[in-house]
Amino acid sequence: MRIGVDAHILTEKFQGSRTYLFNILRQLAKIDSRNEYFLYSDSPEETKTLFTSVADRFEYRPLRSHGPLGRLLLEFPRIEKRDRLDLLYNQYISPFFPKCRQAITIHDILFESLPQFFSPIFVFRSRLFIRRSAQRAAVVFTDSTFSRRELLQRYHVAPERVHITYCAVDRSLFRPLTSAEWPPEAEPFGRYRPFILYVGRLDPRKNLRLLIEALALRKQRGQLTEKLLITGVKDYRHREVFEAMARHRLENEVVFLGGVEDQVLPVLYNMAELFAFPSWGEGFGLPVLEAMACGTPVITTDRGSLAEVAGDAALLIDPSSVESLEEAIGRVVSDADLRRTMREKGLRQAGVFDWERSARVFYEAIERLA
Per-residue pLDDT tens for 261-298?
Answer: 888 999 999 999 999 999 999 999 999 999 999 999 99
Residues 6+ apart with CB under 8 A from 178: none
Q: What superfamily would CATH give domain 179-350? A: Glycogen Phosphorylase B; (3.40.50.2000)
pLDDT for the residue numbered 16 = 84
* pLDDT tops 90 at residue 161: yes
CA torsion 233-110-302-164 (nearest 10°) is -100
- b/e for 169-193, b at 16 or more Cβ within 10 A? bbeeebbebeeeebeeebeebeebe
Helix crossing, 208-220 with 322-334: angle to 10°? 70
Residue 370: pLDDT band with limits 50, 70, 90: confident
Residue range 2-168+354-367, CATH number: 3.40.50.2000
Domain ranges in the chain are: 2-168+354-367, 179-350
For 206-246, the pLDDT digits (tens) are 999 999 999 999 999 999 999 999 998 888 888 899 999 99
Fold match flag (2-168+354-367 vs 179-350): yes
- CB atoms under 10 Å from CB of 346, counted, come to 26
Residue 236 pLDDT: 82
pLDDT confidence bin for 66, thresholds 50/70/90: confident
Q: Which segment of 201-205, 242-246, 259-263, 325-329 scores lowest on mean pLDDT? A: 259-263
Q: How many residues belong to the chain? A: 370
Q: What is the dihedral of CA 182, 185, 190, 191, to 10 degrees?
A: 160
Cα atoms found within 13 Å of the Cα of residue 62, Cβ hemisphere only = 5
Q: Given this model, what pLDDT does residue 32 score?
A: 97
- Can you tell me the distance from the alpha carbon of 311 to that of 302, in angstroms, rounded to the nearest whole number? 10
Report the distance separating Cα 224 and Cα 330, nearest Å.
9
pTM over 0.85: yes
